[in-house]
Amino acid sequence: MQWVERYKRNRWTISRVSGRWAHRFAIFYVIMVAATKKRACFATDHATVVRKIYQVRYLWFKRAKELMATGLWQPGHGITRSSADYTARRCLFCRPSCVFYAHGNSNKLRPCKQSRICPFCYARTVAYIYWNVRQYLNTRRKQADNEIVTCVVQKEYLAAKGFTPETGMVAGMHSPNVRRLRAVIEKHVQRYERQAKTIQRRTDGAMWSVIVEPKRRGWRIETRQYFVARAGTKLPVVRLVDAKTVYTKSAKIQTFVRSGKILGRFVRYPAGMLTAYADLAGIAMQATYGLRLRRGTGRFRTCGSGLAAAFKQASKKNERTKTQENAQAS
């Protein structure tokens, strides 16, 4: 890890903040949440946003370096030493999203694609989700006036065994905690799989995700669900006996601001991954490894990393359409 110190002071010079709605949305509910550790902040001025981005970048660099140095998390599982070091460098210096740089936005450093913990890759995914949902809702606003969006959030708390904030994790309790946390997450996944077909039948589109956020003495497991359905439809909410419903709100698709806030609650970043104890964050990453924790049905069946490819295909299709129209006009 000696090469880390050589690049520690490297900073990207941000020239301006993006004005696109998808990028502003990601800044509000990811970058600001990760920086303030509490809730979304709707500041849009250049100085505040840039300051928060640098603050989040410092938190991310510190957390990623700590996890990799202690062996709690190894991204990419590289086969050789050189590939592992290259993957680690991509994670440490993942480029902040939703901004423009003075030297251009060329891909000199590719995104690390660790969206479960990296706030910048998480923000890219959120921007794609917002783009997908807004595109669909804009179409439905013209066709139907009796549809609503709904978000339901349930939480469950799991205390860490053998861990105290004063002394840390007791030796030999790391693997048992990973198994305990993974068993709880798999229970949520299995419950969703049993109701997936019902959700697809009753809604026009739905998204489901499990978010694991480290806290002071354990983990908070949130099950988030987002529905687009006709008013009066009995929503097939995935409920668990041990989970408590902490958020339920609905709004008509015509109300742009309220529907945006409801989507923001669904995609909000778990700030504890950057600020909680490293032992708990490392256990959370190991427990969720290999699990698909964000799924969708209907119009939103692609709601994760696959949205990036869908966005690029749509952009290419629009470019071809414009080229053909210009050719026919000329």
Considering the chain, what percentage of its residues have pLDDT values greater than 90? Answer: 46
| Mean of pLDDT values over 273-297 | 92
Q: Of 1-10, 42-51, 252-261, 284-293, which gets the smallest average pLDDT? A: 1-10
Residue 181's pLDDT is 95
Residue 312's pLDDT is 67
Paired tokens of 173: 């309790």
Q: Read off the pLDDT band of 190 (50, 70, 90).
A: very high
CA separation for the pair 210, 189 (Å, rounded) = 8
Residue found under tokens 């969006």: 149
Q: Give yes or no for residue 42 having a pLDDT over 80.
A: no
Residue 38's pLDDT is 61
Q: Of 3-12, 33-42, 92-101, 207-216, which gets the smallest average pLDDT? A: 3-12
CA separation for the pair 252, 294 (Å, rounded) = 24
Residue found under tokens 């783009």: 131
Residue 3's pLDDT is 45
Give the helix ranges, DSSP H, for 14-170. 21-26, 32-36, 46-70, 81-92, 119-143
| Mean of pLDDT values over 25-31 | 92
Q: Give yes or no for residue 279 having a pLDDT over 70.
A: yes
For the stretch 263-298, what's the b/e string if a residue is b when 16 or more beta carbons lie within 10 angstroms of its beta carbon? bbbbbbbbbbbbebbbbbbbbbbbbbeeeebbbbbb
Bigger pLDDT: 134 or 327?
134
DSSP 3-state of 244: strand
With a CB cutoff of 8 Å and minimum separation 6, the contacts of 320 are none
Partners of 245 in the β-ladder: 154
Q: Read off the pLDDT band of 6 (50, 70, 90).
A: very low
Q: Give yes or no for residue 68 having a pLDDT over 80.
A: yes
Residue 4's pLDDT is 43
Domain spans, the chain = 2-119, 144-303
Residue 5's pLDDT is 43
Q: Give yes or no for residue 9 having a pLDDT over 90.
A: no
DSSP result, 135-158: HHHHHHHHH-SSEEEEEEEEEEEE
Bigger pLDDT: 299 or 305?
299
Residue 208's pLDDT is 95
C-alpha torsion 60→63→65→70, nearest 10: -160
DSSP 3-state of 260: helix
With a CB cutoff of 8 Å and minimum separation 6, the contacts of 118 are 60, 64, 91, 94, 111, 112
Mean of the per-residue pLDDT values of the chain: 84
232-243 tens-digit pLDDT: 889 999 988 788
CA distances from 94 to 51, 120, 206, 227 (A): 17, 7, 30, 32
Residue 1's pLDDT is 42
Q: Of 10-19, 147-156, 176-185, 268-277, which gets the smallest average pLDDT? A: 10-19
Considering the chain, what percentage of its residues have pLDDT values greater than 70? Answer: 82
DSSP result, 154-203: EEEEEEPTTEETTTEEPTT-HHHHHHHHHHHHHHHHHHHHHHHHHHHHH-
| Mean of pLDDT values over 61-88 | 81
| Mean of pLDDT values over 56-74 | 90
| Mean of pLDDT values over 107-112 | 66
Residue 318's pLDDT is 63
pTM greater than 0.85 (yes/no): yes
| Mean of pLDDT values over 263-275 | 93
